[in-house]
C-alpha cells in the first residue's frame, strides 16, 4: 500500500493569520523571542513565558483552517491509514479541518504539560492562571506544551518511523531551517515541495550549495492555499 508523509510548517497556517517568531525579527509584540521560546527564558521568568503562551492561545481561538488544511483532511478521509500527518505547527488548524491523527513535532498550544509526571492535558484556548494542577498527579508544576529552544523534541523520532513506512514525501510551507527536509527528500524516489519562495539549503558546514527545491522531484512554488488543488491531485493519484 502506498503511503505519504506530510511535513508542514508555518507556511501552511500563515494564510489563516497565524504568525510565528520568524515573522517578527526577534520581537513578538513586546516579547523578546529568546526570552519566551527558550529554556533559559523559561527558567528566568516563568510568569512572562506563561503570559506569552496565554496570548498565543487567545489569538488562536478565532483562527480558521484554510484550503490547504482541508485538502490534507480530505486525503486523510479518502485514504485512511496511508497518511502520516506531521506538522511543525503548534496550532490546531489541521484538527479543526477534520484531521484526526496529527503528529505535532513541536508540541501543541492548546495543551499544558505536567513537569512532574509528563501528563499532557487539554486547556483549549483558556489562560493558564497559575492554579492549574495536573489532573493525573495534582502537581502544580505545569507548563505550556510547546518545545522550546534548548530542549529535545521527542516527537522527531516519528519522522524516521514515517520515513521507513512511506514512499512519497510532501513538504508544505517549511523553510527547512529547523528540520532538514532536503536530506529527507533525498531518501525518496518521489517528493513534492510546496513553498512560495526558493530557500537556500545551508549545509552543516554553513555553506550554500543548492536551493532546497532542487532536492525535490516536484516543486510547486506557491502559497499553501494556491497549491492545495494541485497537491490533492498529485497525492490522490499516488495513493489511489
Ligand atoms: Zn502530573
**pLDDT band (50, 70, 90) for residue 112:** very high
- Determine the distance separating the centroid of ligand 1 and the alpha carbon of 102, expressed in angstroms: 23
Say yes or no: 118 and 179 in one domain: no
Domain shared by 199 and 230, yes or no: yes
Give the C-alpha separation, 89 to 87, whole Å.
5
- Structural contact between residues 190 and 168, judged by C-beta atoms closer than 8 angstroms: yes
Quick one: pLDDT band at residue 171, thresholds 50, 70, 90?
very high
Length of the chain: 240
Q: Which pLDDT score is estimated for 206? A: 76
The set of catalytic residues is 106
Residue range 84-111, pLDDT digits in tens: 999 999 999 999 999 999 999 999 999 9
Give me ligand 1 centre to Cα 157, in Å. 23
- CA 107 to ligand 1 center in whole angstroms: 17
Strands (E), 20-66: 27-28, 31-32
Whole-number Å distance, alpha carbon 45 to ligand 1 midpoint, is 21
Residues around ligand 1, an ion, CB closer than 5 A = 114, 116-117, 119, 134, 136-137, 139
What is the mean predicted confidence (pLDDT) over 212-216? 96
pLDDT for res 80: 96
3-state SS record for 89-135 = CCCCHHHHCCCCCEEECCEEEEEEEECCCCCEEECCCCCCCCCCCCC
> What is the average pLDDT across 78-86?
97
d(CA 107, CA 111): 8
Does residue 82 have a pLDDT over 90? Answer: yes
- Looking at the fold, whether 125 and 226 belong to one and the same domain comes out as no
What does 144-165 look like in DSSP terms, one character per residue? Answer: EEEPPBTS--GGGHHHHHHHHH
> Do 190 and 163 fall within a single domain?
yes
Yes or no: say if 38 and 150 are a contact pair by the CB < 8 Å rule: yes
**117 and 41 in a common domain:** yes
Same structural domain for residues 53 and 72? no
Q: Does 69 share its domain with 51?
A: no
- Name the pTM for this structure: 0.94
| Gap between the Cα atoms of 91 and 95, Å rounded | 9
What is the model's pLDDT at position 239? Answer: 95
Contact 198, 175 (CB under 8 A): no
Q: How far is the CA of 114 from the centre of ligand 1 (A)?
A: 5
In the structure, what pLDDT confidence band is assigned to residue 28 with cuts at 50, 70 and 90? low
Query: Is the pLDDT assigned to residue 23 strictly greater than 90?
Result: no
Q: Which pLDDT belongs to residue 224?
A: 98
143 CA to centre of ligand 1 in angstroms? 11
Share of the chain above pLDDT 90, in %: 85
What mean pLDDT comes out for the span 17-42? 79
Query: Domain containing 203: what range?
Result: 4-18+64-106+152-239
Ligand 1 centroid – CA 122 distance (Å): 13
CATH number of 126's domain: 3.30.1600.10
> 89 C-alpha vs ligand 1 centroid, how far in Å?
25
Same domain, yes or no: 160 and 185: yes
Per-residue model confidence (pLDDT) at position 132: 84
Bridge-based pairing of strands 107-114 and 4-8 is: unpaired
Q: Per the structure, how many domains does the chain have? A: 2
Mean residue pLDDT across the chain: 93
**Do residue 79 and residue 186 come from a single domain?**
yes
Cell output for 120: 499532557
pLDDT surpassing 90 at residue 130: no
Return the CATH number at 205: 3.40.50.1220
Q: Is residue 197 predicted with pLDDT exceeding 90?
A: yes
Residue 222, SS3?
Answer: coil
Average pLDDT over residues 26-55: 88
Whole-number pLDDT of residue 25: 60
In the prediction, which pLDDT does 27 show? 63
Of 119, 146, 173, the one marking the end of a domain is: 146
Amino acid at each position: 500500500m502506498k503511503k505519504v508523509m506530510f511535513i508542514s510548517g508555518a507556511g501552511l497556517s500563515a494564510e489563516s493569520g497565524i504568525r510565528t517568531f520568524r515573522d517578527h525579527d526577534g520581537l513578538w509584540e513586546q516579547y523578546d523571542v529568546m526570552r519566551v521560546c527558550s529554556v533559559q527564558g523559561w527558567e528566568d521568568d516563568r510568569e512572562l513565558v506563561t503570559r506569552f503562551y496565554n496570548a498565543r492561545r487567545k489569538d488562536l481561538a478565532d483562527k480558521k483552517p484554510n484550503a490547504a488544511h482541508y485538502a490534507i483532511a480530505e486525503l486523510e478521509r479518502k485514504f485512511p491509514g496511508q497518511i502520516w500527518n506531521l506538522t511543525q505547527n503548534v496550532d490546531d488548524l489541521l484538527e479543526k479541518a477534520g484531521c484526526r491523527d496529527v503528529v505535532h513535532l513541536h508540541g501543541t498550544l492548546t495543551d499544558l504539560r505536567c513537569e512532574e509526571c509528563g501528563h499532557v492535558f487539554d486547556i483549549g484556548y483558556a489562560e493558564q492562571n497559575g492554579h492549574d494542577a495536573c489532573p493525573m498527579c495534582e502537581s502544580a508544576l505545569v507548563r505550556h506544551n510547546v518545545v522550546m529552544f534548548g530542549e529535545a523534541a521527542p516527537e522527531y523520532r516519528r519522522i524516521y518511523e514515517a520515513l521507513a513506512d512511506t514512499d512519497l514525501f510532501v513538504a508544505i510551507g517549511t523553510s527547512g531551517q529547523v528540520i532538514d527536509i532536503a536530506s529527507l527528500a533525498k531518501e525518496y524516489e518521489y517528493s513534492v515541495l510546496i513553498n512560495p519562495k526558493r530557500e537556500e539549503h545551508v549545509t552543516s558546514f554553513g555553506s550554500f550549495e543548492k536551493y532546497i527545491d532542487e532536492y525535490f522531484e516536484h516543486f510547486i512554488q506557491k502559497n499553501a492555499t494556491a497549491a492545495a488543488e494541485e497537491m490533492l491531485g498529485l497525492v490522490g493519484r499516488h495513493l489511489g
